[in-house]
Amino acid sequence: MEKTIYQFKVKDIEGNSFDFADLKGKKIMIVNTASKCGLTGQYRGLQKLYDLHKDNGFVIV
């Protein structure tokens, strides 16, 4: 059986379990960045993007 992202469970930045199956049916943008590196200026743009599309089932992980 072919694996999809919905079969993965990971830990979030606070150590809590995160199940990608909870996002099934949504539009997902995965951002891979070091959250504490200090180079997080792009977060403002990502927040704007999320605010613009969140009502259409868009999420940023």
Task: Give catalytic status of residue 37 as yes or no.
Answer: yes
Q: Say if residues 21 and 6 touch (Cβ distance below 8 Å).
A: yes
Q: From the candidates 37, 38, 44, 55, which is the catalytic residue?
A: 37
Residue 57, helix vs strand vs coil:
coil
Residue identified by tokens 């605010």 is 51
Residue 24 backbone dihedrals phi, psi, to 5 degrees: -55, 135
The catalytic site residues sit at 37
